[in-house]
Amino acid sequence: MTRLPVPARTATTARPGPVRAWAAMLVAGVLALALPVGATPQPAGDAHTHNKGLLWKIETTAVRPSFLFGTIHSDDARLASLPAPVKARFDQAASFTMEALANAADMLAMAEAMYFNDGNTLEDVLDKKLYRRTLQALATRGLPAESAHKMKPWAAMMTLSLPPPTTGLFLDLALQLEAARQSKPTYGLETMAEQVAVFDELRLEDQVELLRDSVANLHRLDRQVEELIQAYLRRDLGGLAAIERKYRIGDARLNELLTGRLLVTRNRVMLERMQPRLREGNAFIAVGALHLHGNDGLLALLEKNGYRVSAVY
């Protein structure tokens, strides 16, 4: 196992609350493993040959194979080391591609997007009971009421959908830092603005419903996250999908909407945008592991587009 670099801590004077909430958004990748507590994709059938494995060789004619790696958007210490087979392919790759590149300007823009700027407040759009419970829950994340007051419901929901970060060095970000250290050309499959839009463009009523579900099921978060990490450490893609189904939100319409926005549509966009790297060959591409699995997952889509896919690790 190879330890990834840990960046030095830096001080910030701008809105510490939103910056912490932004960390949750990065984990989301909008990311499939940071779905709201209870929300889960329901894939249209399973691609059973893609049930096990985190590192996949992607082959086509006339170029060197590329590799697709499923990450988990977490800074848990158990994930801080890359397995040797993954690190070897990463080090040998000619380029690195991730879901969305992290930079300071985009992070600040993302933080700003999490707040109302139209005169509304969180208190205005929630009933009194949900507002009170939301403030209590956000306080456990170190977010005082004065910081939470103008948050949009989706931003409050995302903040509550993950344990408080410890190092802030999520696996995806660690890979980006290492690629920069190695002077690899680095690319993003999406922009952070596109990731924010997945939730920011939801109807306000849907945002409130997602927040209501997250607050009601907050007591399940630690158990859900631990189950996800254990399945990830087993390289069990099918198990990850099953755990998400286990914790699904009860609203079938909203669940279907999230599936389409979080996975199905984004997977097709990712497939299209990774084509230049696959044509170059010897690319290392990292996305959230749930983007790999199922009939609408990237592995199945790659096969449908003529690529040969095989598990390496």
User: Quick one: how far is CA 42 from the chain centroid?
Assistant: 17
- Is residue 236 a part of any domain in this protein? yes
Q: How does the average pLDDT of the chain come out, rounded?
A: 85
- Work out the pLDDT band at 108, boundaries 50, 70, 90: confident
Pick from 127, 121, 141: which is nearest to 218 by CA? 141
pLDDT tens string 263-309: 999 999 999 999 999 999 999 999 999 999 999 999 999 999 999 99
5 in Cβ contact with 168 (< 8 Å): no
- Is residue 149 a part of any domain in this protein? no
Mean pLDDT of the 250-275 span: 92
Domain span at 97: 50-106+168-201+219-311
- Is residue 152 a part of any domain in this protein? no
Predicted local confidence at residue 4, as pLDDT: 59
Please name the helix (run of DSSP H) or strand (run of DSSP E) that holds residue 66, with its range, or none. strand 66-71
The total number of structural domains in the chain stands at 1
- Is residue 101 a part of any domain in this protein? yes
pLDDT tens string 168-227: 788 898 999 999 999 999 999 999 899 999 999 999 999 999 999 999 999 999 999 999
Cα–Cα distance for residue pair 161/159, rounded to 1 Å? 6
> Does the pLDDT at position 17 exceed 60?
no
> Does the pLDDT at position 85 exceed 90?
yes
For the record, the structure tokens of 253 come out as 């319409």
Q: Cα dihedral angle (188, 293, 228, 161), rounded to 10 degrees?
A: 50
- Is residue 127 a part of any domain in this protein? no
Predicted local confidence at residue 267, as pLDDT: 96
- Is residue 116 a part of any domain in this protein? no
Predicted local confidence at residue 81, as pLDDT: 87
